[in-house]
Amino acid sequence: MMEAEQTNPNDHYSDDEIDLKEFFGLLWGGKKLIILITSIVASCSVLYALTLTNYYKSEAILNLTGTTNSSLSMASRLGGLASMAGISLPTSNVENKGALVLETIKSRVFLKHLITFDKVLPSLMAVKTFDAKNKILIFDEDTYNIKSNTWVGNVDPPYQSAPSVLEAYWQYISAVNVSQDNKTGFITISVEHQSPIFAKEFLDLIIREVNVLLRQRDLEESTNALEYLKSEISKTSLIEIKNSMNELIKTQLETQMMANIGNDYVLRTIDPAFVPEQKSKPNKFFISILGTMLGGMFGIVWVLMRHYALGVGKQESES
């Protein structure tokens, strides 16, 4: 009988120890190459980080203006009649009101309104850099001529030199962020831009104009509703119907009253917009550290590839 081969468990540990010694020996032998590659990649990452444009974020926290309990009670009692007449009544659902504000701010129609204001479209679409010393935006002269307030560029009809609403929308939606807290109902709006001053001013404009547009919409709807109710109330002889219409008239008058009192029609500011002092992005230190780490990893992989894949067996001699 052949004697069964016996293996010594310590041989595995011995092999592992040899492999680790070989591994670290390769790294030690290729340390110059690893340091060189790490230095090159780290330097490139630092240079890249320095070329990145700084962005600043201005933020505001707002609360939805409330609707009186009497209005909500009346709206629930007269909802059927109002629906038949095509009349809008105050909603008691705060989430719906918040959703209306959020979707209005994120809509292309709202952006189309905003870019009618001076320098809004160029500040979104033609900025080259921000002069922090003089606190002014520098525009790309190949895109926009600030002296003549005209857009530069030769395009074929039906296109125009000035960016369209659809073109500006993607820049707008990446710069503006709006959200609502499900628990508190508070709405947070932020604007991120190369200019901290424009970020604050544009945020103020958004808040002001969403109040203005929704106020105008409700005023127009309530005015039309009042005209309709006043014309219809004289046509009916039923006391209950007349009483209901009078209640609807009262509701619409209250809507007009609220729309004409103060500037905070839909949104009331809790924490106003500010001019940010610190940039929000990019994190240049993180980019530099990440580049250094990747450079070191690439250097280690390259040394191992030279030995195992490319067949370079000799270790570099230690200096």
pLDDT (mean) for 88-99: 60
| pLDDT tens sequence across 117-133 | 988 999 999 888 888 88
Which residue's entry shows tokens 């009349």?
87
SS3 129: strand
Distance of CA 175 to the CA centre of its chain: 5
Residue with more model confidence, 219 or 195: 195
pLDDT (mean) for 176-192: 92
The per-residue DSSP string of 172-238 comes to HHHHEEEEE-TTT--EEEEEEES-HHHHHHHHHHHHHHHHHHHHHHHHHHHHHHHHHHHHHHTT---
Residue 156: C-alpha distances to residues 52, 140, 148, 149, 210 (Å)? 33, 21, 22, 21, 35
* pLDDT greater than 90 at residue 106: yes
Q: Is the pTM of this model over 0.75?
A: no
CB 202 within 8 A of CB 59: no
Indicate the range of 6-10, 35-39, 170-174, 266-270 predicted with least confidence. Answer: 6-10
pLDDT band at 113 (very low <50, low <70, confident <90, very high): very high
Distance of CA 265 to the CA centre of its chain: 24
User: What pLDDT is recorded for position 52?
Assistant: 79
